Structure 1
């Protein structure tokens, strides 16, 4: 009876110690799992229905702006900060442009005002990244998020909707963000 109790206590202590010291591998796994979920959502409903495109595009912009703010505050790398500022500027403009179009293009649509659980998890993981891993975490998230955004906007750009023009207009900026993130990842 004592031996199983001691073994169980030792396992719990080991698990607690691992959780205290290694949240980042768990966060990275969560970020990696979020990427294909986002891609699937963007490729299916988001690229085919206004009712899915609007909230996904709005949340993508919100996520990008929030992540950029965190990067501007926490990164020590000038190139990462430059990318974050470009992303914040471009996604703020895209968000404002889509909101301005909605009364005429989709009068029944109201963009969300908060992130969904998946994107909030990405923000939480970015906030909890250590100083040593912050830039890599941010860059990896940006590559996944911009691939998802490209899938969403490219897919929606050929729809019969006034919002399709918005989708076509934002694609070049998203491509530029993705290229910059990929260059930063290659440089690290």
Structure 2
């Protein structure tokens, strides 16, 4: 009950942040205002994702598959944007690695998902669409910071999802796949921390 309440509350905050974006765009300095609203929206998205990964995705195979698939789709799209818009060479290279690694993770998971009888989503949810919108809207000077902040939250969420399902899930093959994916995601998270500390170099 508490977990459901947290998830609903965090979702409501995300909706408020989305609604405020249009209102703030009419302010005297729409560029700066939108950047602040986008940052708040990304932070709220991180809270929603962390709650979801730590609850539903850990025990429900359908929720796990949905979250894992959308996570990979988001990482691939965000990585493509980072290759095009990233300012630092390290950010561009990380974006390229995300496309390759998350394409491989999805490919490895797909046969197991099919065997489990679950159909994964083929597109992003509204929350991840918002993150992609904010990446596309980021000014060149701000892009690397926005991307790396999103990546920290996204990999924290993915790591919680993989570790949680590997311990609590009800499908043995997917539990094993989640356990194998966790170290790769941890490595990504470590890399993001290093890039953030070095300003993306």
Please state whether the residue corresponding to 1:17 is helix, strand or coil.
coil
Aligned residue for 2:61? 50
Shift of 1:135: 0.4
Output one character per residue of 1:12-39: Cα deviation in whole Å (capped at 9) or x when no partner. 9x95323354211110010011101100
1:174 pairs with one of 182, 185, 188: 185
Aligned residue for 2:160? 151
1:185 pairs with one of 160, 172, 196: 196
2:136 pairs with one of 127, 142, 156: 127
2:77 pairs with one of 52, 66, 87: 66
Aligned residue for 1:136? 145
Q: Which consecutive aligned stretches of 4+ in structure 1 deviate over 4 angstroms post-superposition?
A: none
Please state whether the residue corresponding to 1:181 is helix, strand or coil.
helix
Ranges in structure 2 where 5+ consecutive residues have no aligned partner: 1-22
1:32 pairs with one of 36, 40, 43: 43
Measured in 1, the distance between the counterparts of 2:146 and 2:31 equals 19
Measured in 2, the distance between the counterparts of 1:32 and 1:26 equals 10
TM-score by structure 1 length?
Answer: 0.88
Greater RCO (CA < 8 Å, at least 6 residues apart): 1
Aligned-residue CA RMSD (Å): 1.6
Contact 2:61 2:170 (8 Å CA) reproduced: no
Deviates more, 1:78-87 or 1:19-28: 19-28
Measured in 2, the distance between the counterparts of 1:37 and 1:124 equals 17
Ranges in structure 1 where 5+ consecutive residues have no aligned partner: 1-11
2:105 pairs with one of 89, 94, 107: 94
Q: Between Structure 1 and Structure 2, whose CA radius of gyration is higher?
A: 1
Measured in 2, the distance between the counterparts of 1:88 and 1:20 equals 29
Output one character per residue of 1:140-177: Cα deviation in whole Å (capped at 9) or x when no partner. 00000000000000000022311011101111111111
Please state whether the residue corresponding to 2:29 is helix, strand or coil.
helix
